Amino acid sequence: MLTTNAPALSFIKPFLLFRFRAFSTSPRTISIFPATKLHSFHSRRSRVCTFIAMTGNNATAGVSSPEHVAGKWYSVPDLRLRDHRFTVPLDYALDRDVSPKISLFAREVVAVGKEEQSLPYLLFLQGGPGFECRGPTESSGWINKACEEFRVVLMDQRGTGLSTPLSVSSMLQMKSAKDLVDYLKHFRADSIVNDAEFIRVRLDPDAKPWTVLGQSYGGFCAVTYLSFAPQGLKQVLLTGGTPPLGNGCSADSVYRVAFEQVIRQNEKYYKRFPQDVEIVREIVKHLAESEGGGVLLPSGGILTPRVLQLVGLSALGSSTGFERLHYMLETAWDPVIVPGAPKLLSYCFLKAVENFLSFDTNPLYALMQETIYCQGASSQWSAQRIRAEYEGKFDAIKAAKEGHPVLFTGEMIFPWMFDEIHALKPFKEAANLLAEKKDWTPLYNIETLKNNKVPVAAAVYYEDMYVNFKVAMETASQIAGIRLWITNEYMHSGLRDAGGKVLDHLLGMLNGKKPLF
């Protein structure tokens, strides 16, 4: 069981910064597991060159092939972009000619004027699971920093964005829940890494190893990359993305520490906005007393007390989340402008609640969330089971009746969501099958990680609600040579919030600007 006895913030420096390096000595041959063998594209160099989409140096990637179509350059302020579409196997365990195919989309980004320069590649792996990589609107933030020295690749992970997106409507094409589950099993980190390798050797005619930057779940994928295809990696940068490595299903241990951190985040929120304690209690009472136990949402779903609690997923763990939640709660009630009219929740508030949740646009997240912790074992609705261990602390109706603060939940998916959230209802049976599925393939190879030779730097956020600090530290102890930057200056969204500072710091840890001491 994972527990944390970390001191409260008041007992540490306002900005807690320290670095850590782990070492491992005995070399060992990398073990590639047969069930989800990551294809060695190097061994197919002759075939790869046949379909290569560019020749010479990096700048000539505009030629198309059956497996890779490169678009023309276009512009946003201070950046030049080019779209790439690849045709990849759904199942890499099958012969490439036999496997069904899906489309994979990646956006190449460089600073203006650098289109023809030979630059090393940096692959960005987005958080998730089930979220696309948003295109930049200008040169700012970490992308601005990255484009100083890299050719950035923004890949929509399979099933998201423009990579054969698994939307509510597209998944309804499946004839049965079993068919959907059989399809979804190919949308985890092992397949994402295979996709990355497929892209790498087609973007670069020399198939050079590249830098990978993994944010949150993207970091989980990067550690899978380190486990099974380290030959494709020059260096790895992790931001809030060090996964639990345990065999079986690690979800129970993850959620036990996650619920503890969520409770602390709730306490912080109500300390900052004490007036919201009563507002939330009144909303919960209103919902519980409404016909059907809730109020109809604009999308057709029902806002119940426990659906309201789900806004904590976005509000409690990222920068400005507290403020956005508070301002949303300010709009909760319609004014009574006609004497005797009932007190009702406002449309503005109901719409804002839906905007906090993204299950209608990214249903893959809800379906796959617990599977990211599974290796050869089922999750059995882990978050729901662990929630029951807290003896009613997260019972919103009970808290409202007894005059206690109503606690919001965090990054947890519960089975009842597939009854109460309109967009998820068609996938209830598939969600149950995924929760029961046991034969999940391995995602990490601890022996390989212990003998890692790839330079790795990780930003570990001390008060991260999504990736627990102690879990991150235990994982780091298993990755040879990793350097850690531990800070409470940023939350989980530090890469996005800090401009180029987080990326610059991690690169400095690996390029000698921030030496060991």
Which pLDDT score is estimated for 63?
A: 56
Beta-strand relationship, 121-125 and 210-215: parallel
Q: Look up the pTM and report it.
A: 0.88
Which pLDDT score is estimated for 2?
A: 34
Active site residue 439: yes
pLDDT digits (tens, 9 = 90+) for 275-323: 999 999 999 999 999 999 999 999 888 999 999 999 999 999 988 999 9
Which pLDDT score is estimated for 45?
A: 33
Q: b/e string for 369-402 if b means 16 or more Cβ within 10 A?
A: bbbbbbbebbbbbbbbebbeeeeeebbbbebbee
Burial class of residue 477 (count of CB atoms within 10 Å of its CB; 0-12, 13-18, 19+):
middle
Instruction: Over range 345-349, report the average pLDDT.
Output: 98
Q: b/e string for 411-444 if b means 16 or more Cβ within 10 A?
A: bbbbeebbebbbbbebbeebbebbbebeebbbbb
Give the separation between CA 382 and CA 370, rounded to whole angstroms.
Answer: 8
Which pLDDT score is estimated for 64?
A: 65
Catalytic residue chosen out of the listed positions 42, 170, 346, 439: 439
- pLDDT bin (cut points 50, 70, 90) of residue 86 is very high
User: Can you say whether residue 139 is alpha, beta or left, with left for phi > 0 and alpha for psi between -120 and 50 degrees?
Assistant: beta
The answer to whether 14 and 478 have CB atoms below 8 angstroms apart is no
Catalytic residue chosen out of the listed positions 216, 250, 378, 379: 216
Give the separation between CA 187 and CA 174, rounded to whole angstroms.
Answer: 15
Other beta carbons within 10 angstroms of residue 511's beta carbon come to 12
Catalytic residue chosen out of the listed positions 84, 186, 492, 505: 492
pLDDT digits (tens, 9 = 90+) for 443-483: 999 999 999 999 999 999 999 999 999 999 999 999 999 99
SS (H, E, C) 224-257: HHHHHCHHHEEEEEEECCCCCCCCEECHHHHHHH
- pLDDT bin (cut points 50, 70, 90) of residue 47 is very low
Active site residue 492: yes
Give the separation between CA 433 and CA 2, rounded to whole angstroms.
Answer: 27
